[in-house]
């Protein structure tokens, strides 16, 4: 049983939770008897490729021209 100030999770459980959060790119949270253990990926979210954004801009401009928007 966990005493006051003791983490109620085994080290292996914390590692497994951290690995899951990193693999899936999500924040994971466990609450036990008022104690909350949170883990989150240590990497920044993926950025959108600039070429994809410019392609979308071209498609939007074409749509606007086709439908009389300018």
Q: Is residue 28 part of a domain?
A: yes
Q: Is residue 31 part of a domain?
A: yes
Q: If pLDDT is split at 50, 70 and 90, which confidence band does 60 have?
A: confident
- Please check the confidence at residue 46 and state whether its pLDDT lies above 80: no
Convert the pLDDT of each residue in 12-40 to its tens digit: 888 888 888 888 888 888 888 888 888 88
**C-alpha–C-alpha distance, residues 6 and 3, integer Å:** 5
- Per the structure, how many domains does the chain have? 1
Location of structure tokens 């983490």: 7
Q: Is residue 26 part of a domain?
A: yes
Q: Is residue 6 part of a domain?
A: no
- Domain span at residue 24 reads 11-66
Give the whole-number percent of the chain exceeding pLDDT 90.
0
Closest of 29, 37, 28 to residue 8, by C-alpha? 37
């Amino acid at each position: 049983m966990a005493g006051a100030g003791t983490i109620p999770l085994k080290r292996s459980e914390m590692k497994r939770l951290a690995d899951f959060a990193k693999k899936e790119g999500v924040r994971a949270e466990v609450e036990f008897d008022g104690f909350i253990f949170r883990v989150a990926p240590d990497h920044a979210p993926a950025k959108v490729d600039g070429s994809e954004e410019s392609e979308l801009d071209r498609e939007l401009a074409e749509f606007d021209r086709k439908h009389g928007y300018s």
